[in-house]
Chains A and B, each alone.
Chain A
């Protein structure tokens, strides 16, 4: 395993990513050599028309998918060819995800949902996990609703719980796929502000995919994509 030249402020780096989706005649060359860097404390927006490869890039960077070619480094570790177990461990330790749909476990409370990544990582005791989860929920303005079931929260509140969950293990990288795509304008603003403020406070790199130009314009950097390449 070779590592790229390490730079302290780089949380994530990829080079020349290629990805094909579909099979046979329906096979599409979605990414055509994408290279990208995400810096700690910075918020980067990936924008572009539907089908240009934004989400595919994000899933590759988040180790949720494997590239057909190219390299990905997370915390200076080459991860693109690593085993499923190594990738899974890296996701748990270094990456937090926020999706368009909150994907909360409906049968569990907000507190339990935020504690789930911590339970897997196993670095904190049960009381410490509960305390951190309460603190995060407090940060996203849900300190009074920690014991509510996910189904008893509004859409905006659920997405805020999802942000708290993404931050639970203090990951170096937050990857957000249309985090405000399912919210109204007010809630979009609240969720974006939360995500960027908390990430900056903790020195995390935030990469978000969005169609919303207002959100994109408020990011530190905008990377437009078209036809599987950054332009």
Chain B
């Protein structure tokens, strides 16, 4: 009973962690493949108010690190090419892309809709995003976009709303400017908020349409080690005096939600392990009561209190080892089965099956949880058994 409980507890712990991590991992991959690991946006200046305050306390010069609320921001990046050149020298940076962004109204023969244009250099942007894969998931081709100066890549949701397909023309209006473009491809990021508004076009064309002849709205950066994004962003912010946001900062609320879900699942499933531990505690406590005579006779033969404790610890350890191995097998099997289960998810990302992502840590934490519960359940009866006085027990039995 206790063994079965531990097997199910460890197994389900692994499964639930694999599921929640799977969706989180998929979300992160989607976000990184769409918006990059770091975005460098507006230039900032420390305000006079802040500089005075800092001087009053330090008696000397101004602090370099400044709180964001004490800054004045100037929109965009003024020298994107120089900044890109400098960014490429960062060891962890794998790609950089200049983006000019602006709002437009898209007119098709069917209807019009507001959209957001992103002017890019295709090759640069492919190095910081999964655009190639996103177009492959949609329709049309990158090759057509590459070779067509007036070509566009538009999101699937927007294409559906405008009732346009690859090869159709649409008119984009920005201020007084309006131009006709040809749809080279329809991409699908899986994030409906992006697919509904974003239109990619060539950088030069975007500058011309949006009347932004110099500078950039932001620079999108891809990293080799995505986990180091906050540290890299902080460093970039200090060096370039531009706001740099890591993906962790941008998606903080979603990541917190995933984290809460993961902890909640872990706590819920841990109750199975806890209940099994209580079952095991009861079983061992009963064994202590039933085996008092045997414990006494072992003590009379020269077995120490530690020896008696060890016997019960061994019992617990055996249940733990068998339970965790069984749990690993169950967890692995069910996780594999769940990963094949068809489910259609559209919204913050797009998936057609359950997303799972297992790491050695899920197995390790599940095992650790079981170890703490099982060994606690074993140690208490073990200590009780070891405290029994052989003379008292044998006297009680003889009378």
Contacts and interface: CB of A to CB of B under 8 A. Distances in A.
Asked if A and B bind, the verdict is yes
Interface of A: 55-56, 59-60, 62, 64-65, 84-85, 88-89, 91-93, 95, 97, 99-101, 103, 105, 116-117, 120-121, 165, 169, 177-178
B67 interface: no
Contacts of A116: 298, 301
Given A59-B391, A65-B391, A120-B307, A88 B398 contact: no
B303 A64 contact: no
Interface size class of B (residues with CB under 8 A): 20 to 34
B304 A88 contact: yes
A166 to B, nearest CB: 9
Nearest to A93: B302
Nearest to B291: A105
Which of B305, B389, B392, B395 has the largest number of chain A CB atoms within 10 A?
B395
Contacts of A60: 391
B398 to A, nearest CB: 6
Contacts of A55: 395, 398
A169 B301 CA distance: 9
Contact of A89 (B296, B302, B392, B395): B302
Given A59-B395, A99-B398, A116-B298, A88 B303 contact: yes
Nearest to B305: A84
Contacts of A95: 300
Contacts of B299: 64, 88, 91
Interface of B: 293-294, 296-305, 307, 389-392, 394-395, 397-398
Given A56-B395, A95-B300, A105-B297, 11 more contacts: A59-B395, A62-B300, A84-B304, A88-B302, A88-B305, A97-B300, A101-B398, A105-B294, A116-B301, A120-B301, A120-B302
Tell me if A's interface is mostly helix, strand, loop or mixed.
helix
Nearest to B297: A103
A101 B397 contact: yes
Given A64-B390, A120-B307, A92 B398 contact: no
15 contacts: A62-B300, A64-B299, A64-B389, A64-B391, A84-B305, A88-B305, A91-B302, A92-B303, A99-B397, A99-B398, A105-B294, A117-B301, A120-B302, A120-B303, A121-B302
